[in-house]
């Protein structure tokens, strides 16, 4: 049980420090132009990495399963300009149904 608390404490304090580092040390100062244009591209780069890894990886394995069908359904729903909640529901339902009928 004390191991659990060690993990909770270390991860919690570490994460709090990581999140605070930029805002506390940099404050309200703007970033230089070139840094700014790199930072502007962090969102698409990291979000795409999160999409890719969450869709087709489990631990260190690349896996194609029902999640892929869910994400494809989500992409179609996004193209139709649906709200985010509907996108998420369509993805989850598609993956659940695919597993239920055993096609993925």
Site for other proteins in 28-67 (CB under 8 A): 28-31, 34, 36-57, 59-62, 66-67
Q: How far is the CB of 71 from other proteins (least distance, A)?
A: 5
Determine, following the binding rule CB under 8 A, whether residue 5 of this chain makes contact with other proteins: yes
Asked if 71 and 51 count as a contact pair (C-beta separation under 8 A), the reply is yes
Angle at 102 between CA 95 and CA 96, to 5 degrees: 20
Determine, following the binding rule CB under 8 A, whether residue 85 of this chain makes contact with other proteins: yes
Nearest CA to 62 among 70, 53, 71, 50? 53
Interface residue with other proteins, options 64, 80, 87, 102 (CB under 8 A): 87
Binders of other proteins among residues 9 to 28 (CB under 8 A) are 10-16, 18-28
Tokens of 25: 């040390």
């Amino acid at each position: 049980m004390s191991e659990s608390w060690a993990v909770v404490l270390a991860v919690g304090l570490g994460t709090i420090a990581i999140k605070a580092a930029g805002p506390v040390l940099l404050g309200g100062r703007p970033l230089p132009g070139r840094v700014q244009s790199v930072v502007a591209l962090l969102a698409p780069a990291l979000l795409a990495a999160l999409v890719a890894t969450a869709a087709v990886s489990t631990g260190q394995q690349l896996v194609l399963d029902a999640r892929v069908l869910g994400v494809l359904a989500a992409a179609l729903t996004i193209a139709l300009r649906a709200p985010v909640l509907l996108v998420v529901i369509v993805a989850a339902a598609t993956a659940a149904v695919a597993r239920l009928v055993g096609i993925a």
